[in-house]
Each structure stands twice: as C-alpha cells, then as structure tokens.
Structure 1
Amino acid sequence: MSEINIPNEYAVELPTPDIEPYADGNTGIPFVWRFDSGQPGPNVMVSAIVHGNEPCGVIALEWLFQKGIKPIAGTLTLAFMNVEAYRAFDPADPFKTRWLDEDMNRVWGDEVLDGDRTSIELRRAREVRPILEDIDYLLDIHSMQHLAPPLMMSGRHAKAKELSVKIGVPELVVGDAGHAAGRRMRDYGAFDEARSEKTALLIECGQHWAAASGTLAVEAMVRFLTATGTISRELAEPLGKTPGQQCFTVVQAVTIESETFTFEKPFTGGEVIADAGTLVGHDGDRPIRTPAKDTMLVMPSKRLWRGQTAVRFAVPDRQT
C-alpha cells in the first residue's frame, strides 16, 4: 500500500544523493559493498534506505565512500537496500515512495522470505539476505514521520542496549519487540536471539527530511564503527563527548484492529505522559490509554490502517 494520501507538513531539507555510482557493488549483489581489512575482527554492516524516502542513511554511506574510509579490523559491509523505491523518490510527494509494493522492514521473517509470494521489496530482501548471514553487528539507518527526538531502537535483548550505550547517541534508547505486521531486518535471525553475540540496532535519526537527520546519521555511524573497532577512534574524536542517554522499554505496541483510528491530540513522539490510564486515542470504539505512569509515546504513526502499529508505549527502564 502506498502512502500517497498522507499529507506532508515538513520541508524537504535533505538532498537525495545519486546512488548509481555504487550500483555495481563488489559482492555480486548490486549496491552492496564489502571491504576486508585483512585483520581479525567482526563483520560489521551499515544499511540505508530500507525505506526509499529516508535519505539520511544514503548521506551517511556516501560520507564513508567519499572519504575512502576502510576498516582497520574485520570487514565492513555497506548496503543500499530498497533501491527501486529510492530511485522513485519525489520531494513533491515524499511519502509516496517509502516502499513500492510493501514495507521492506516487515518481511524479514523466515516464513516470509522462504514463502511463495513476491514483491519488489521481497525480491530485494531475498537478494540481500545472504550477506546478512555472517554479519556480527548491524546498524540500520532510518528516520521518522514527525519532528521528534531521535531514537535508537535496540530490540528485545540487553546486548543491543549495551552496544547503544557504547555508541552514546542519540539520547533516547528504546528496547522493543517490533511490529505485529512483520519482522524488521534488525530482528532477523540471530540478531534477535539472546544467546547469540550477533547484535543489530535501528536508529531513527529524526524527521525524514530535516537537515539534522543527515548530521546525526553520519555521527551515529562513525560512533558505531568506532564502538565495534571497525575504524580508528581518531575519526570520532572531533565529535566530542556524548550527552548521556536514557533507556526505555516498550511495554505495549498498539496494533490497529478497526477501520478507524484517531489520536486524542496531534502527538509527534517523545511525549512522556505522567499518569497511567490517560486517554491517547480510539481504535474504533476501543479507547487506547497509557498502561503505566511516565509512559513515553514512541513514533505515533500517520499510517493508521488496520494491522499497522499506531503507537508504542515505553517506560523508563527503572520501571521495567
């Protein structure tokens, strides 16, 4: 389903760099590059444009390419994901090409990848899937619909929050289990297994087209690559000290069950509601209320369709 009917209230400040120079790749998979240091170390990956209307990840990868930065240990894989949706991006209708056939960040369950159905996004996910099998650490770069505080989405397990703290940005870290509509790439395979050391993070850098989102994408990527020992720590030194972080955990994801979902207020995300039981919206006739005190609203959506996540409720880790 396209997002063509969602109005855009934000200026498109970010450029959309040309990715065609990276089309050949060097892995046998178009738009996927891997650089080997020749030294022991982890296999690390940074991915961009799982959603085609989120250019901040492209800006980050292009920064690495233009500076010619290579790993000093292990391997570094750089992947442009939903290429067809990105190619179709139109700043005059910027929500339209988040995807072309379906959300590429809901197809990463084995039952979907190994199933019979097909789509532009599924074909690309199946094409890229082999490169994920030996990745130890993944940073998947995204952005958000609303102008709201950036988030590091760390999944269900402590290992990812621990890596988030080593990175140090952004200020908010949110542990969550994903979406009922389908599995994200950051939850693929061993990334979502507590017993495995393989770890993935998904960063939401801010509003899709805000200039600050591109700046944070570069900073977070550099800090991630430094934290994993992939690049020299000297590259992160100009960034200075990190501001400190607060960790939350999602305790409820509101999946839309009716044909009509409405919010009580124009929430944008990051709001902390002090009282448990506060009315946030209605899913048809069903009232949606905060489940605990000091509940933070995580990425309230404009995609208010049956089966989609309307909002996630998170509480500070001291409450979990």
Structure 2
Amino acid sequence: MNTLEHIRAQLQAYPIEVDFPAILKWKDGNAGVDYVHSFDSGLAGPHVMIVALTHGNEVSGAIAVDKLLQLRLRPQKGRVTLAFGNVEAYARFDSAHPDATRFVDEDMNRVWSPSRLDSTDDSLELRRARALRPIVDSVDFLLDIHSMHEEAPPLMMSGPLDKGIRFAAEIGVPENVIVDAGHPNGTRMRDYGGFGDAASAKNALLIETGQHFSVLSRDVALDAASRFLIATGVVAAADLAEFLVAEKPAAQRLLQVTQPIVADTMDFTFAQDFRGLELIGQAGTVIARDGAREIVTPYDNCVIVQPSLRHLGPGVTVMRLARVIGA
C-alpha cells in the first residue's frame, strides 16, 4: 500500500516564493491568549476577527496578520482581533517537507463543534481551539485565512446559508464563491456556533488565497483581509490602501457544492491532473479511482473543487464536486 510520504513525493513541489514571518514577537497578546491581539475603539460597533494559521503551513494568512499588526491598526468603531491559530505546527515547518505541518495531532479546522470542544478528547489542536473559543464566541464577523495545496485560483467559502453568500458579495473578492456545508469529518471554525445558524446575526467566511507559498496567495490574503475590515466598517479604507489590489474585482461566480469525494483507501488516484475549477462537461465521466471503485461525475458541467492527495487517508475529503448556480 502506498504511504502518504511516498504519495507526496510524487506530487509537484512548489517553490517557496515568500518569506515566513517571525511571529514569536506577537506571542504576548492582550486578550488573555498567546498570539491574540485585540483592539477596541471604545465606540459601538461589531467585534471582527481575522484568524491566520488555522493550518500550520498556510503562510499567506500569517503574512497578512503580521502586516496588520505592524501597521498598528486601530478600529474607527467596534473591536478588531487579530490571531495566529496553530502556532505549534507553524513553528515546526520544514521546507523539505512542506505538507507535513498542516497540523501536529489533528486538523484544527475539524474540531469546532461542542461535541469535540466539550469532550474529554485531547490533542494539541483541541487545546488551542479551546483557548481560542471564548474569544471566537464573542465575535460578530470572522475571516479565516487559508491557502491551498495546489496552484489554483482563490476561493471564498461562504458556507451553505444565504447570509454567507451575501457577506461574500459584500467583500467582493475573489471571483469564485463556494457555497458549501463543510466536511464530513468535522466542523470548521467558519461554521461554528452562530456563524452556522441562519437565525444568528453572526457571520463568517473562509478564504482560500491560492497555493500555499506563492506571492499571489500573499497578495490575495492582504487584499481580502483589508476588504473584510472595510466592509464590516471597523477600519477606514484609507488606512489599508497599500494592501488593496488596484484592479477592479471580477464579478463573482457561485459554485454550489453537491457532494464531497471522500477516500476509502490509500489507493486513490485522479483520472487527470486536476488542480481545481476544471469543468467536466459530461455526466458519467470517470474522474478518479479509489481502489476498484470508479468515481464519475454525477451531472453535466460538473466543477472540480480543491482536488488534492497531499493528505490522503481513509475518511479524508480529497475533492468536492459543484455546479454553477449563479454569478
């Protein structure tokens, strides 16, 4: 049986185009939790939060939060919180094994449900999520900054609710918005508590900025984080002008995820060199094989979303299938 390291060794190695910021200087926060900094204007307004490093090798968010902290940003109303998530995984990053430090014990973006957070389970990521939980509980608007294993256009994950779709439209970037319910193997921070409740005024987005180590991903992270702060009204556009991409954003396209493709075995292969957003015109087209099982497109004009084998394992989502529902 193929081992994960053997599979990773056969995949494309991407160059590391950006510097990883030294974040130890931000360890002593002011919110009662290491690596969390919160700034209150003293005026009425929402509490907004930007989180980087939910996964330890996704550096674009760390660059954005580091830059915002260096800017000594202060809100014009409400409260802004800037946080680094899985700092232990980030500290272990090794450029020789760039996919290995997504997490230490388990994926920190699959533990955000009361059943996991209140359980007696223990892992490094659960301990960090439990430390962050009281702060996240107080947040009105959240942006969780991620990046992707493969080189592909950036994506905004709006969640399945209309309020998330509207929020993505208010931010205005990137072009492709993924309307999805998350993953079968655990709850994302984006879907935690009121963020995932249609009756709650709380709202959250998760952005996938591009390939982990690209300059493009860095620029998308800074632009999206700035637009998020501006759209929520807590920071003036003039204070973030240096981070905004000058080009007018393209009109957004909505992609409705209809199903995840979850691996049953380590013997999983794609039928093509998928990277993401490929449109497969005909239903019944073989797109992958999982051992002896063929996986085919369930409908015409099926869009491939975030295909990757870099963390292959039984029960792991290796891609999702979507249809275009609007623009």
* 1:238-249 correspondence runs (5 A): 239-240=245-246, 241-249=248-256
Query: Counterpart of 2:271?
Result: 264
- Mean Cα displacement is larger for which, 153-162 or 250-259? 250-259
- Alpha-carbon distance between aligned partners in 2 of 1:191 and 1:286, rounded to the nearest angstrom: 36
Are 2:314 and 1:310 aligned?
no
CA distance in 1, matches of 2:196, 2:217: 26
Is the CA contact (8 Å cut-off) linking 1:255 and 1:308 kept in structure 2?
A: yes
User: Structure 1 segments of 4 or more deviating over 3 A?
Assistant: 2-5, 235-240
Report the secondary structure of 1:239's partner residue: coil
Structure 1 segment 133-172 matched on structure 2, within 5 A: 133-172=137-176
Equivalent residue number for residue 230 of structure 2? 226
Partner of 1:188: 192
Q: Deviations over 1:120-179 (max 9, x none)?
A: 111111111110111111000000000011100111111111111111111100010111
2:99 is aligned, of 95, 104, 110, to: 95
1:80 and 1:198 map into 2 onto residues whose CA distance is: 21
Displacement of 1:304 in angstroms is 2.3
Deviation at 1:3, TM superposition (A): 6.5
Question: What runs of 5+ residues in structure 2 fail to find an aligned partner?
Answer: none
For residues 90 and 258 of structure 1, the distance between their equivalents in structure 2, rounded to whole angstroms, comes to 27
Q: 2:281 aligns with which of 236, 259, 274?
A: 274
- Counterpart contact for 2:253–2:326, Cα < 8 Å: no
Which one of the candidate residues 109, 129, 141 is aligned to 2:113?
A: 109
Query: Which amino acid in structure 1 is aligned with residue 17 of structure 2?
Result: E
Q: Is the 8 A contact 2:268 2:290 kept in 1?
A: yes
Between the aligned partners of 1:81 and 1:191, the Cα distance in structure 2 is 18
Name the structure 1 match of 2:305: 298
| 215-224 or 60-69: bigger deviation | 60-69
Task: Tell me the CA shift for residue 318 of structure 1.
Answer: 4.2
Aligned to 1:40: 44
User: What is the CA distance between 1:274 and its match in structure 2?
Assistant: 1.5
Count of aligned pairs between the two proteins:
318
Over 3 Å counting, the alpha-carbon distance change for 1:4 and 1:96 in structure 2 is: farther
- Three-state SS of the structure 2 residue aligned to 1:29 is coil
- Deviation track 1:207-256 (CA, whole Å, cap 9, x = no partner) reads 00011100110000000111110110234556343222111110111112
- Aligned-residue offset at 1:301: 1.7
Q: 1:47 and 1:16 mapped to 2: Cα distance?
A: 16
Q: Report the equivalent of 1:79.
A: 83
Residue 290 (structure 2) pairs with residue 283 (structure 1) = yes
Q: Secondary structure at the match of 1:35?
A: strand
